[in-house]
Structure 1
Amino acid sequence: MSIDAATIDQAKASSFGRIPVWSWLGAGVYVLFLINGSGLLNDSDTYWQIAVGQWILDHGALPRVDVYSFSKPGEPWISSSWFAQILYAASYNLAGWTGPVVVAAGSIAATFALLAHILERRIPATYAALVALAAMVLSAPHFLARPHVLAMPVMVAWAYGLMTASERGQAPSFWLLPLIALWANLHGGFVFGLVLAGAFAIDAMWNAAPSQRKPLALRWVAFGLAALAACCVTPYGWESILASRKILDLGELLRLISEWAPADFSKLSAFELTILALIAGTLYRGVKLSPPRIALVLGLLHMALSHGRNLEIFALLLPIVVLTPVSQQLALRSTWSGRTTFVPAVVLAVAFGISTWAIAAHQTYSPPKSDSPAAAVEAIKAHNLRRVLNDRALGGYLIWRQIPVFIDGRAELYGEKFTMAYYNALELKDVSQFLDLLGDHDIDALLLRPGAPAATLLDHVGIWRRVYADDVVVLYARGGG
Structure 2
Amino acid sequence: MTSDLAFIPAEQAARTPPFRPFALRSKAASSILVFLGLVVVLATQAGQLLNDPDSQWHMAVGRWIVAHRAVPWTDLFSHTFAGSPWIAKEWASQVLLYCAHAGAGWWGVCMLTVLVIAGSLAGLHLWLVRRVSGTAAIMVVTAAFVVLAPHLLARPHVFTLPILLVWMSGLVAALERGRAPSPWLALVMTAWANLHGSYPIGLVIAGVLAGEGVFSGPRSEWIGRGLRWARFLALATAASCLTPYGYAPFLVNLGLFNSGESLPYIMEWRPLGLDGAGVIAGAMLVGSVVVLLTAPRKNLFRLGVVVLLGVMMIRHSRFADLFVLAAPILVAGPAMARFPRLRPEPAIAVSRRSSFVILAFALTAMTTVALVSPRLSAAMTPRAALDAARVKGLSGPVYNDYDFGGFLIRSGVPTFIDGRSDQLFLGGFIHGLNQALDAPGTERFAALLARHGVTWALVRKDGPSADHLRRLEGWRLLHQDEVAAVYYDADRVTTAP
Using the size of structure 1 for normalisation, the TM-score is 0.90
The residue aligned with 1:470 is 481
CA shift at 1:380, angstroms? 2.1
CA shift at 1:23, angstroms? 1.5
Q: Kindly provide the CA deviation profile for residues 132-172 of structure 1, in whole angstroms up to 9, marking residues without a partner as x.
A: 11111111100001111012111111011111212322111
Q: Kindly provide the CA deviation profile for residues 55-83 of structure 1, in whole angstroms up to 9, marking residues without a partner as x.
A: 11111111111111111111111111111
Contact preservation (8 Å) 1:102, 1:356: no
Kindly report which structure 2 residues correspond to 1:203-352, keeping only aligned pairs within 5 A, or say none.
203-265=212-274, 268-276=275-283, 279=286, 287-289=294-296, 290-331=299-340, 332-335=342-345, 337=347
The residue aligned with 1:5 is none
The residue aligned with 1:453 is 464
1:99 paired with 2:108, answer: yes
Moved more, 395-404 or 318-327: 318-327
1:13 and 1:215 map into 2 onto residues whose CA distance is 39
1:456 and 1:18 map into 2 onto residues whose CA distance is 59
Kindly report which structure 2 residues correspond to 1:27-426, keeping only aligned pairs within 5 A, or say none.
27-265=36-274, 268-276=275-283, 279=286, 287-289=294-296, 290-331=299-340, 332-335=342-345, 337=347, 354=363, 357-383=366-392, 384-411=394-421, 412-415=423-426, 417-426=428-437
Q: Kindly provide the CA deviation profile for residues 377-400 of structure 1, in whole angstroms up to 9, marking residues without a partner as x.
A: 112212323211100111000011
1:284 and 1:219 map into 2 onto residues whose CA distance is 29
CA shift at 1:31, angstroms? 1.8
CA shift at 1:256, angstroms? 1.1
Moved more, 256-265 or 368-377: 256-265
CA shift at 1:428, angstroms? 2.5
C-alpha distance 220-106 of structure 1, shift in aligned 2 (>3 A): same
Moved more, 322-331 or 450-459: 450-459
2:22 and 2:332 map into 1 onto residues whose CA distance is 31
Contact preservation (8 Å) 2:477, 2:488: yes
Contact preservation (8 Å) 2:23, 2:348: no
Which secondary structure does the structure 1 equivalent of 2:310 belong to?
helix
Which residue identity lines up with residue 301 of structure 1 in the other structure? G
Contact preservation (8 Å) 2:92, 2:195: yes
2:292 and 2:207 map into 1 onto residues whose CA distance is 29
- Can you give the 5+ residue segments of structure 1 that lack an aligned partner in the other structure? 1-10
1:277 and 1:17 map into 2 onto residues whose CA distance is 27
1:336 and 1:208 map into 2 onto residues whose CA distance is 31
1:217 and 1:351 map into 2 onto residues whose CA distance is 51
CA shift at 1:281, angstroms? 8.8
Which secondary structure does the structure 2 equivalent of 1:264 belong to?
coil
Q: Kindly provide the CA deviation profile for residues 273-327 of structure 1, in whole angstroms up to 9, marking residues without a partner as x.
A: 4424764797699744422222112111101011111111111111111111111
1:407 and 1:401 map into 2 onto residues whose CA distance is 14
2:113 and 2:470 map into 1 onto residues whose CA distance is 42
- Count of residues paired in the alignment: 465
1:347 and 1:427 map into 2 onto residues whose CA distance is 61
RMSD: 2.9
- Can you give the 5+ residue segments of structure 2 that lack an aligned partner in the other structure? 1-19, 493-497
Contact preservation (8 Å) 2:288, 2:327: no
Contact preservation (8 Å) 2:457, 2:488: yes
C-alpha distance 56-351 of structure 1, shift in aligned 2 (>3 A): farther
CA shift at 1:349, angstroms? 11
Which residue identity lines up with residue 304 of structure 1 in the other structure? M
The residue aligned with 1:8 is none
C-alpha distance 326-82 of structure 1, shift in aligned 2 (>3 A): same
CA shift at 1:413, angstroms? 2.0
1:434 paired with 2:441, answer: no
2:330 and 2:27 map into 1 onto residues whose CA distance is 28
Which residue identity lines up with residue 282 of structure 2 in the other structure? I
C-alpha distance 229-320 of structure 1, shift in aligned 2 (>3 A): same
Contact preservation (8 Å) 1:177, 1:226: yes
Q: Kindly provide the CA deviation profile for residues 344-384 of structure 1, in whole angstroms up to 9, marking residues without a partner as x.
A: xx999988985664223332111110000001111221232
Percent identical pairs in the alignment equals 32
Q: Kindly provide the CA deviation profile for residues 40-66 of structure 1, in whole angstroms up to 9, marking residues without a partner as x.
A: 111110000000111111111111111
Which secondary structure does the structure 2 equivalent of 1:249 belong to?
helix
Contact preservation (8 Å) 1:188, 1:240: yes
C-alpha distance 137-347 of structure 1, shift in aligned 2 (>3 A): farther
1:382 and 1:44 map into 2 onto residues whose CA distance is 24
Which secondary structure does the structure 2 equivalent of 1:91 belong to?
helix
1:153 and 1:284 map into 2 onto residues whose CA distance is 25
C-alpha distance 467-244 of structure 1, shift in aligned 2 (>3 A): same
Which residue identity lines up with residue 461 of structure 1 in the other structure? L
Moved more, 226-235 or 287-296: 287-296
